[in-house]
Amino acid sequence: MIFLGGGGSEADEASLWDEVFVEGRRLTVWPHAMPRDRWPQVEQWFRAALSPRGTFVIDVGDAGLQQTDVLVVPGGNTYALLAATRDMLPALRPFLERGGHIYGGSAGAILLGADIDIAGILDLNDLGLTETAGADLLTGHVVYPHFTADQAETAARWAADHDVAVLAIPETAGVIIDGGKARNAGPSPVRVFTPSGNRTYSAGREWPLWSVNSAGS
């Protein structure tokens, strides 16, 4: 299963975290969206955020996924994240197929979509990346985290201009992907924008994760 966080704090995403960070699970953290000298701070923050939830085995960095229950991809600069992990992305689909889980927060959520260039709304492309294909684990959708209601026009325009479905997640929400179905973990509503319109899904709502050219969007 895939868990997409809107980019808020562990309190903002508590409903999502309740489902993915189950005590005893083995976690691998990819902190590549942050500069390497800040990786220890990422680990420190994550351990502190998880501590009320019990005991976990946590590896940070380029550890493989063979002994992992959950791959954790937190936020930072999405372009830097893609540049650092591009060669590792092909391993994600087999990891999911054998029962693994992936949590992506903010930049990490964007990485799991079809393309990361929507991150340019939020991030600087200091690396000048032109190849921006993501892991494409979301039926062709791209992810817009930190979404607020006043950004609806921006999300709608992106969907129309790029002929994609945009999954817009506020900081106080999270989306769980299980096969071809999506569910809003809440508490805030999420929106899906397509070239032909948009839909809003309240907390607890489930919907099929249609591709942009399917009839369900």
What residues pair up with 171 in beta bridges, in sequence order?
A: none
All residues at 6 or more sequence positions from 147 whose CB lies less than 8 Å from its CB, including other chains: 6, 155, 168, 169, 170, 190, 191
Average pLDDT over residues 92-106: 98
Amino acid present at 71? L
pLDDT band at 62 (very low <50, low <70, confident <90, very high): confident
Q: Where are the domains of the chain?
A: 2-208
Gap between the Cα atoms of 216 and 137, Å rounded = 18
Which residue matches tokens 């590792």? Answer: 88
0.85 cut: is pTM over it? yes
The angle formed by the CA atoms of residues 49, 102 and 184, to the nearest 5 degrees, is 80
- The verdict on domain 2-208 having CATH code 3.20.20.10 is no
Q: Residue 216 pLDDT > 90, yes or no?
A: no
What is the side-by-side strand order in the sheet with 70-73? 57-60, 26-29, 70-73, 101-105, 2-5, 174-178, 181-184, 206-208
Amino acid present at 37? D
pLDDT at 211: 61
pLDDT band at 137 (very low <50, low <70, confident <90, very high): very high
